[in-house]
Amino acid sequence: MSEETITIRCRENGPLVLPAKFQIVDHLGNEFVLPAGKENVALCRCGHAKSKPFCDGSHKACGFQASETAPPPAPPPA
């Protein structure tokens, strides 16, 4: 079985965006239907979306701020 690494992008002051090649389930194991016809899916992280767990743009109105960045890569050994 081949496992492809999925890259999740953290949008500055916005949602998590990832390729629509995943399954997401609730705490009971029920699957959420991914938005049709989308190459990428945005997941809410502000908590205000009416369409949770998917982003609906509510982060813009609620003033959500999240601009975390990953640490830079370590320099190569000398």
- Provide CATH code, domain 8-24+39-67: 3.40.5.90
Q: Measured between alpha carbons, how far is 50 from 22 in angstroms, rounded to an integer? A: 21
Q: Which amino acid, one-letter code, is at 67?
A: S
Whole-number pLDDT of residue 78: 80
pLDDT of residue 13: 97
The pLDDT of 4-18, averaged and rounded, is 95
Task: Give residue-wise pLDDT tens across range 26-66.
Answer: 999 999 999 999 999 999 999 999 999 999 999 999 999 99
Domain positions in the chain: 8-24+39-67
pLDDT in tens, 64-74: 999 999 999 99
Confidence of residue 2 (pLDDT cuts 50, 70, 90): low
Reference 17, options 26, 9, 6, 29; nearest CA is 9
